[in-house]
A and B are shown apart, each in its own frame.
Chain A
Amino acid sequence: MAPINTVSQVFDAIRAVKSAAPAFCTNFFPIERKVQAWIDHGELAGDLRDGTALFFRKDRDFWHLYFCAASPGTLERELISVKSLKTERMVVDLVGNEAALSELLVLLKQAGFRRYSQLQRMARSPESGLPPASTGDAVVTNAEPADREAIVDLLDSSFDRYADQLPARHEIEAAIAGRQMLAIKCGEVLAAVLFFETQGLTSTIRYWAVAESFRSRRFGATLMRGYLQAHAAVRRFILWVVATNENAVQKYQHYGYAPDGLVDHVLANQLIP
């Protein structure tokens, strides 16, 4: 694994693998500005092999593994000799339905990964309408740079870092600067956040969390209404949620979200408890 220093290293490696690929397979759909941010913060490493490009993104105390391979067989052959799979905590995501991914799931298991979690995508159309206004006095604001550490703490304590692709500090800073982090505060204390990304006509909720000591005060509902109200022009709302988290799934269903069939299989290596 060696540091990646330029975006073109990533895209050139992918192109090289694709150009000689009888059955190209990948779990990597890079967006240039995100790759650049990972590089800027020294989070991205790579291992470019014969017919396979492996990328590793550092996240807290573990790595996300992304692969591009000329074929599943090539990937299987190369993964066996990747030493970091046995020495570093590693997570890999595969998006798609079980049947289409069966071959990759088997070979990743052979490489030492096990099923860790499963996320499902949920989508909502604007026809679902706005939820009723909350009766409380909570005020939705945009989070400020000074809220960063409180947001990190809230997200880290509310979600599973291995499954939920939690944002790095620089992503939180960028979201705050881009006014994509709604917050409710009680005095100076952060009570709840809703982190979203909007691209054109589609908006994605990345995280929605209420601090434990502020629950049952309808802060979550107030944030959700504020978010939906501010996105009247959006035609498609999506999010990813842990499929077994019935409480969260039911909450999203309440706001008109429904599973759209896309599933993210999260696999972890043996070093992750």
Chain B
Amino acid sequence: MKSLPEILKEIRPEFDFTTSNNFMEDGMLDSFDMVTLVSTLDKTYDISIQGTDIVPENFQNLQTIEALLRKCGVQL
């Protein structure tokens, strides 16, 4: 299974997501990328991220996304 940095790299190959603490502020992800990312995470981990969780705060950096995945039952 692909790792989270690998998934992000596929969506936006031009960025190194391990170096940022705020993907939105650093211009690495926008709202459209977030929709793509949610769909990819749903498929990759066989989960369904709830609408209430699709907020920028949950997609700020690797740690917040991992916390969201854990909340959805993914064991990382």
Contacts and interface: CB of A to CB of B under 8 A. Distances in A.
29 contacts: A15-B52, A18-B51, A18-B52, A19-B51, A19-B52, A21-B51, A24-B54, A29-B31, A29-B32, A29-B34, A95-B32, A96-B35, A125-B14, A199-B25, A199-B26, A199-B27, A200-B26, A200-B28, A201-B14, A201-B15, A201-B27, A201-B28, A202-B27, A202-B30, A203-B27, A235-B14, A236-B14, A236-B27, A262-B32
A250 interface: no
B interface secondary structure, majority: loop
Given A19-B52, A21-B51, A198-B27, A235 B32 contact: no
Contacts of B30: 202
Interface in A86-116: 95-96
A199 B23 CA distance: 10
B9 interface: no
Contacts of B32: 29, 95, 262
A202 B14 CA distance: 10
Contact of B26 (A15, A19, A201): A201
Interface residues of A, number: 19
Most chain B beta-carbon contacts within 10 A, residue among A29, A96, A198: A29
Interface in A102-141: 125
A235 B29 CA distance: 12
A24 B30 CA distance: 19
B12 interface: yes
Interface residues of B, number: 17
A235 to B, nearest CB: 5
Nearest to B28: A201
Contacts of A95: 32
Contacts of A96: 35
Contacts of A19: 51-52
Interface string B32-76: 101100000000000000111010000000000000000000000
Nearest to B30: A202
Could you say which of B14, B30, B34, B51 has the most chain A C-beta atoms within 10 Å of its C-beta?
B51
Query: Which 3 pairs from chain A and chain B are nearest by CB?
Result: A200-B27, A202-B27, A29-B31
A24 B54 CA distance: 11
Contacts of B34: 29
Residue with the greatest number of chain A CB neighbours at <10 A, chosen from B26, B27, B34: B27
A202 B26 CA distance: 8
B34 to A, nearest CB: 8
A25 to B, nearest CB: 9
Contact of B15 (A18, A199, A235): A235
A21 to B, nearest CB: 5
Contacts of B24: 199
Nearest to B16: A235
A236 B25 contact: no
Nearest to B50: A18
A43 B34 CA distance: 27
